[in-house]
Structure 1
Amino acid sequence: MSKKKKQKQGYKNTSKTKSSNIWFYIIIAVFVIGAVGLVVLNNMGDEKASFDYKNQPVLGEESAPVQIVEFGDYKCPVCKTFNETYFPQIDKELIQTGKVQFHFMNFPFINNDSTRAAQFAEIVYKELGDETFWKFHESLYKNQPADYKYEKIDFLTEKELTERLSEFVSQEEVDRVVKAFKDGEGEKPVNEDLKVVNDLQINSTPTVYVNGKLYEGKSYEDLKKMVEEELEDAK
């Protein structure tokens, strides 16, 4: 295991410090360095992570030779930027062309409502499938407040999550998801994601892996190049 490098960007887990002011300055620093840049902590060196993709939300063809995994938090503003800036290019050029399967895993660390949203989303995936999950996923980031004071506002409430889901499914389906959520059925899959987070020593969001290799680039072009290298190796 290689030594950890100092992170330049991304929303970092600083759970050892509970001060709201410290959280605020961390976020400001992130965006000063570059909100649209994506650099994640080097915690794997040349090692390859092994993922169980079977029970994760997925986009793309089963035959795609490259697997991308994003670890995210629905309360993370940099994840919102990734979803709105990078992901449309990934979808158009890599997923829709059959080159990549894209998976999402939870790293909810910012606040209690991060965990609530992750558990709710896992149930949406389990009960209603991939298509509905990705609509819900996109809606959560799209509706993330631009100016919230981080830990001070608990905006991913059960009411908010239910309203987001109600945008594109029936009331019967909403009720099914809410019941499963109240029964605690989202806890296990989120805890399983967190075990992977801990095993890989991930401490920031978004963190991205390509065929088990940590992505450390600064742009979409860097990510695309990494995918192309993996495609070449797969020939």
Structure 2
Amino acid sequence: MTTFDCADPTARRAGIAAAVQAARAGNLVVLPTDTVYGIGADAFNAAAVAQLLAAKGRGPDMPVGVLVGSWTTIDGLVTAVSPVARRLVEAFWPGGLSLVVEHAPSLAWDLGNTGGSVMVRMPLDPVALELLRTVGPMAVSSANVTGQPPATTAAAAQAQLGDKVAVYLEAGESSVGEPSTIVDLTGKVPRILRQGAESLDRIREVAGEVIPAGS
């Protein structure tokens, strides 16, 4: 278990290199995002994803989402990107909006009991983006034990997760400090599953009709 202070350029380079190595070896990494800190693993390493769920105290019935490092990565993860999904990606990514879409059936991953869908987001954080662009898509969930408050610093994540994580990337307080808004695009009308960093009104400006959370 090693922590790197990404405010220092030398430590940031070393930290990202260590995080890449850890992820490729099937170990867990805590990384900063704009919303809250995340605990991540290589999305295509089923054992590492299972380890992530175990670290959080979750089972496969609570599947993990995926963070990507570019707009175009989503094209390789889904069968087709709908016009509304494309508009939301272009309007909100990188940022605090997660999209639930049907994933391509050919993908060799096991994120839990997803029912053929995947939650995808591109975070607005330079450290996260650099890591994701090197590793590729990562399975990432909030860096906390299930039922405990989400961590907004790597230190807060370490207090909960300890040595279950190989590398902690500390980049200070998360700029948003609350989880992303989740929009489900698998139905006929977009539906908000969780209201978070992005407002319903702003999402409606881009997507048109949207079913609010809890409706």
TM category (shorter chain) comes to 0.3 to 0.5
Greater strand share, structure number: 2
Calculate the TM-score normalised by the size of structure 1: 0.32
Would you tell me which structure has more helix in proportion to its own residues? 1
TM-score normalised according to structure 2 size: 0.35
Tell which structure's C-alpha radius of gyration is larger. Answer: 1
